[in-house]
Each structure stands twice: as C-alpha cells, then as structure tokens.
Structure 1
C-alpha cells in the first residue's frame, strides 16, 4: 500500500519569488486591459488638470489596443529602469487592433494618447511613444475653426471646458501676494518678456509703465471664473486676454514651420493659436481630391500614419510606389486635440492630427495630487484627491 505523498515545503525564497511573479503578472494584466496610472508633468491642461496630478486612465472606454510590440519587459515604457537599454524587441511587429469599448472618443473627452511620430521619440513603435493628455476638440468628419480664441465645430461655437485658461494681463492698485495666487490655483505665470515669473513679481511693461501711475501689472494664466472674482476686488482695475491677432503667425516654432509636420506647414496658411482654420478632420473611408490645399493639410497623414509604403511628396504632388495619385481614401479616423491651458499647450494646432491607433484611453479621475512647488507637509492638494475629470 503506497504512502500518501506530502506536499513539498517551499523555501522562503521560493515563496517570495512566486509572490513577485504573481504581482507583476497581475499588474501587467490590469495595466493592459483595464486601467493605467499616469502623472501630469506639464501645465498644458490647467486648471482642469494640474501639474502633479496622478490619474487613472480607463482603457475600457475606447477599447483595449492590441500591442504592436509584444516583446517588452513588463511594467516598462521605452527603457529598462535606470538604464538607456531599450525595454522592447522589434522582432514581432504586429498591426494594432482595438477590442470593443464602452464608447467612442467624444468631443470634450480628456484623452491620453501616444504623440505622433514627428516627436523626438518618433522612431519608437506607436504604442511606446511619449504619452500626452489633451482634450478632444474635433472628431472625424467635422470641420474645426478657431475665431478670436473661440472654437467652432461645423460653424457652431463649441461649449468651452469649465476651467479653460488663457493668458491675461491684469492691472491692480496694490501688489499681489503668493497667497493670492495660491487661493485661485494659479500655479505659475510669465512676465511681459516671456520669462517665468514664479515669485509673482509685478511686470514692468515699459519705461513709463503703469506702476508709475500707482498700478501693478501681472501676466497670468487663469480662467474666466477667476477673472470674475478678481473684478470684485477693491484694488481691481482691468483684465485683458492677450490674443494673437488674425493673420499673424505664432513664430518660428509655430504653425508656419514646415519642419514641424503640422498640417498647415505649406506656405498658404498664416494661422495661430487664437485664429485657426477652417480645417476638416479626416474620417475613415472618406475620399478627398488632392489639390494644393489638401496636400498641404494631409500629406503627413498619407506619408506617416496610413501604413503606405514608398510615399514621395514633391510640391503639391504625392506618389505611392512610383504612381502619382490624384485622390486619397483615409484608412482610419483622426482627432484634433487641444490643451485647456490654451495659450501654453503644444497640441494639434502645432503638430497636427492624432490617429485613432495612437489613442490609449480616457482620463477618469485624479487619485492623488502633489504640488511640486510646496514643501513636504503641504504638498498634498486634498481638494483634488478622487476628483473625477470633467
């Protein structure tokens, strides 16, 4: 009669190793199929999302993307932690597919996506490029235009985000303090020379500025509700949005720089961040005629995002595999993304459309928020914890 075998007792090291493997596998599956955590590093979405906010982003809303580069070290991005070694192998290069989701990308959604391939890490696979978060302003098949800072979609004004920011010049009779700016969630500013103004020193606009007349000038990024509160101050004098006039380019790094790969890179356009378009947003299955204007707007899509091989752009002519084409049918949808901090956001106004296969997920809620400009004991922004993203 055989004796019953006793289970083998695992060593402490084996127990520890099994626990780590289980945790890594579980975290990888959750990150891939359900939610992923991200940090806000820049002020481009202020005041809706602040620098130091930690987000949970849902991949279920728009559907999970299948990986283009499945051979990757778990829980890494482009590099192995603490090294310059790539965290992935390109031996398998798969087409990106998307599983069914709860919804499609809607106008007004706060969306996380991989930056398109003219970014500094443009040689990385699509699913491993730098992550950005912006608000979806234009969806496929719509025509977008910005007139004097207001966004129009198909000729109708878009409802603006609640905490959308612009750059204002405010004038007051008494100097403002750090506490004042903290009270209104104004985390940084710039002076009239374009330099950072982190200490909230007043702006000296000219040799005979308003300070001589007893006034104090500040250039700050804030939203309309705050301006309404400023107007109640006894010391308030005026507030003015600092806009780019129509027909004036934003500068060498703006819409007219051909190397920026913006859809407006041709010489026919003089658009800026406050006056822009009209621009039709490409939609899957729609065919357009290729003429001088459409080639200017969509040549980078055809060359970089559609999976076409041997694309050559010469002036206003495009050829694929040596054959000149006079029309083109788009193979996927595209989106137009903008930051809520409208005067301080690198977004679709500068680098063009976001392809559907670059979309990662929808920002759902802030689970932690740390103010990088505060000391240890006062870093936590308690009012922002577990706050849903609207």
Structure 2
C-alpha cells in the first residue's frame, strides 16, 4: 500500500491556465483590491455643484480619506462593485436589501469644526428613494457644528456656543450690486468670479450675484459701482417659498407647527444632538428633533393629541443613540444643507476631503480645460 498518497507528486507537470482564466483571475483580484481600498482607505470624488464655491469648484476631483474618521463598514454588502444605488443607464437597484448593523472602525480623529466632509444625503431616506444609508448620494459640505454645540445664525454669521465662527475666506454669498447706470465689463465678471448674476426688474445694470468677500471688496473699488452690499434675509421674516428646517419638513409636530421665525441667514439657536444627550420633547422641540428620532434612529414615533409615543410608549424625553453634526456649504446662498434638512447623523459620514488631484472646467476652451493651479492642492 502507498502511504504517501497524500503527498503532492512534484513530477506531474502543472496544468497551464488558459488566457481567459488568467484574465478572469486578474480582473477579480483588481476588483477585490480596489473595493478594499475604496472601503477602508481612500476614494475619489468629483464636485458636481457650486455649493462649495469658491473653496471647491465644479469639476474638482478629490481624494477622500476613510481613515481620518474611521472607515464605515458596508451596510448593504451584496451589491455590484463600483455602483452607488442603481445599475448605470437603468433604474434597477444595484444592491440587495440585505443589511448589516452600522459599524465604524476607529479613526485618526473626530470630525472638527471647519473640516470639509463627504457624506450621504440624509433626505434620500424619504420617498421616493427609501435608500439605505450607504446607498444614498454623496455630497460635500463644511462642518459648522459638532455634537453638543449650541448653534445659531445671526445675519449670516454662524455662532457656536455664543461665539462667532470664522467664515471661509474663499466662501461665497449673495451681494446686491448698484451701478451708476453703466453695464459691467464681461471680463470683470470672469476675473472676479461673479456667478448666478440676476438683474433686478426694470433694470439692465443693477444686479444680484454670488461671489467672495474679497471679490466684493474689489468690485467696490471700480468707479461705475455705487454700492455692493450683502443680500441678507431679514431677521424674523420667514420665506414661505424657501422654508428652512423644520418648516421644510413639518412631519413631526404637536398640534400646529410653531413659526420659529427662522430663515437662511437667521436660524436657531438649536442644540446639536450628542450621543447620550436627553432632550425634552414638547411642542417647540419635537418638530426639531422628531425626524432624527424616527428616521435616523429607527424608532416608531406617533402623536396622539398632545402625547408623543415612541415605540408604543408615551414619552416626554428622548436620549440619543448617535452623534450628529451641522453641515453648511461655503456658497451660503446657493447650498441645500443643514439649514434645510437638519442634523447629519454620524452613520452618514463617508470621509474627509484631503486634496484635489485634478480640476476640469467644462465651460472653458479645450486649451484651458485643466485648471493647473488646482492640481494636487490641499483642501482647507
């Protein structure tokens, strides 16, 4: 009897893999490696809108670190690689509804005020999407408030715990420009990066535009410009055509929704929820915190008369299970952010924006498509 049957016969020649098998193995390895890198370490992202101008421009290509805040483990792991929520060119979901609990690896640091953060859009938890957290669209904003902070806006100035926060010098906001009746030079519009220009009714020279404070100050220096003033919403006046949170999502209320008197430039104060913080639920607080309690923390919330029931039990307080953040775009009057949809839950955080590795201006001529000065530039 041969007692060495279990030993490998080294004299038998190895069967050579076919070309198709070699290609398949190589592709499989590449997909697995790329997926691990995107999940655990770093991912590319492109700026699709102007909500962060001029800090970040449309067409900026970024690298986003998953390591800084800790990589979030996949919540819907059974999916087609490198797809977000649908198969390209179709409306078919690219993932199966098999969900794992939220878990994040330890990170290098917590999110700090001033960080530029990529995260999943909270509003895609709602109709018609009802997408899982990790299958919602990625967007990018700057963190203005962290868990436990008391945040308010007064005449477009952010205050944290009663102290004014420094605004980004590259951020933009809306300005009203009044001229002496002459038209503005188109070259000056490009030079000062005046965007979203809208002329006032019955005027072909006075206009509203978005730009930086530096450009606004330069614009004032021209002889044909009579005034350049920030276009700030009046404190206490609600814009019913552009309501902010929670009037923008009046799903959680006891009786009549309060008229907070908040608008895009005057908001709060509100306390940003912190894990372990207990909030009193009353007619004023419930509309502000009800969405986080029901949608993000996955509780069944119902109102019966003046009573609130959470998971079938009457409640007048709630203790939060997650940390939350307040995110705003640097282009303050052209950004849909926490002022419109409220607090950002920690499980929506994707990563920290590190630097731009490419920047393409789709509106420029072929020779000027690449913004060379923005290549491999750190993000502040």
TM-score by length of 2: 0.90
Give, in whole Å, the separation in 2 of the partners of 1:77 and 1:145: 34
Mark the CA change 1:365 to 1:119 in structure 2 (over 3 Å): closer, same or farther.
farther
Corresponding position of 2:80: 73
Corresponding position of 2:343: 353
Quick check: 1:59–1:362 contact (8 Å CA) kept in 2? yes
Deviations 1:252-309 (A, max 9, x none): 342277462598993231200111111111110011222221112111111111132x
| Alpha-carbon shift at residue 248 of structure 1 (Å) | 1.3
Moved more, 360-369 or 117-126: 117-126
Corresponding position of 1:237: 226
Correspondent of 1:183 among 183, 187, 191: 191
SS at match of 1:247: coil
Measured on the aligned residues, the alpha-carbon RMSD in Å equals 2.2
Give, in whole Å, the separation in 1 of the partners of 2:143 and 2:347: 15
Answer yes or no: is 1:205 the counterpart of 2:209.
no
Corresponding position of 2:122: 116
Moved more, 228-237 or 163-172: 228-237
Give, in whole Å, the separation in 2 of the partners of 1:253 and 1:106: 29
Moved more, 65-74 or 232-241: 232-241
Question: May I ask how many residue pairs the two structures share in their alignment?
Answer: 368
Quick check: 1:47–1:165 contact (8 Å CA) kept in 2? yes
Mark the CA change 1:241 to 1:143 in structure 2 (over 3 Å): closer, same or farther.
same
Paired residues for 1:77-116 under 5 Å: 77-90=84-97, 92-116=98-122
| Alpha-carbon shift at residue 189 of structure 1 (Å) | 1.1
Correspondent of 1:228 among 203, 217, 227: 217
Quick check: 1:54–1:369 contact (8 Å CA) kept in 2? yes
Give, in whole Å, the separation in 2 of the partners of 1:4 and 1:74: 41
Corresponding position of 2:291: 300
Deviations 1:217-254 (A, max 9, x none): 23211111112222333433210111110111133342
Deviations 1:308-352 (A, max 9, x none): 2x3213465320232210111111111111110101111110111
| Alpha-carbon shift at residue 134 of structure 1 (Å) | 0.7
Residue segments in structure 2 that go unaligned for 5+ positions in a row: 1-8
Give, in whole Å, the separation in 2 of the partners of 1:178 and 1:369: 24
